[in-house]
């Protein structure tokens, strides 16, 4: 059971917009801690996609965007492309736990 809750899977057709939710609680996202997102392509290491809720590292297309509100955060992907098919993880900090990073369970994005 992950501290942050994500849907196991989402799907969309090429060119469409999809969103992935990440629901936390008052000890993590709700407490104001930042949310970060990673993309993990099949058989590869996680790659930082969004940091500090809304910021994109250099090289990440602006088709990817993040937001945070209350105890939740979301990752939006517009203009869906076949190469976006991957697992996506949200990550934050939780003040009630003795860990540095807490992760969501991951969401598998399928491009139809």
Partner 1 sequence: EVQVAESGGGLIQPGGSLRLSCAASGFTVSSNYMNWVRQAPGKGLEWVSVIYSGGSTYYADSVKGRFTISRDNSKNTVYLQMNSLRVEDTAVYYCARGNDYGDYWGQGTLVTVSS
Report the site for partner 1 in 2-31 (rule: CB under 8 A): 2
Examine residue 32 and tell whether it contacts partner 1 (CB under 8 A).
no
Residue number with CB closer to partner 1 (24 or 89): 89
Examine residue 88 and tell whether it contacts partner 1 (CB under 8 A).
no
Q: SS in 3 state form for 23-55? A: ECCCCCHHHCCCCEEEEECCCCCCEEEEECCCE
- The residue count of the chain comes to 112
DSSP 107: E
Beta bridge partners of 87: 40, 108
- Tally Cβ neighbours within 10 Å of residue 39: 20
**Which pairing describes strands 47-50 and 64-69: parallel, antiparallel, or unpaired?**
unpaired
Examine residue 91 and tell whether it contacts partner 1 (CB under 8 A).
yes
Examine residue 44 and tell whether it contacts partner 1 (CB under 8 A).
yes
Nearest approach in angstroms of CB 108 to partner 1 is 11
Residue number with CB closer to partner 1 (12 or 46): 46
- Which residues form the interface with partner 1 (CB under 8 A)? 2, 34, 36, 38, 44-48, 51-52, 57, 89, 91, 93, 98-106
């Amino acid at each position: 059971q992950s501290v942050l809750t994500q849907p196991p899977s989402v799907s969309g057709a090429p060119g469409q917009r999809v969103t992935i939710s990440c629901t936390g609680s008052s000890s993590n996202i709700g407490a104001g801690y930042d949310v970060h997102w990673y993309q993990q392509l099949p058989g590869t290491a996680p790659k930082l996609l969004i940091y500090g809720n809304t910021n994109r590292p250099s090289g990440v297309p602006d088709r990817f965007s993040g937001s945070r509100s209350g105890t939740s955060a979301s990752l939006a992907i517009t203009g869906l492309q076949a190469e976006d098919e991957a697992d996506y993880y949200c990550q934050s900090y939780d003040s009630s736990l003795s860990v540095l990073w807490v992760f969501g369970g991951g969401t598998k994005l399928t491009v139809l």
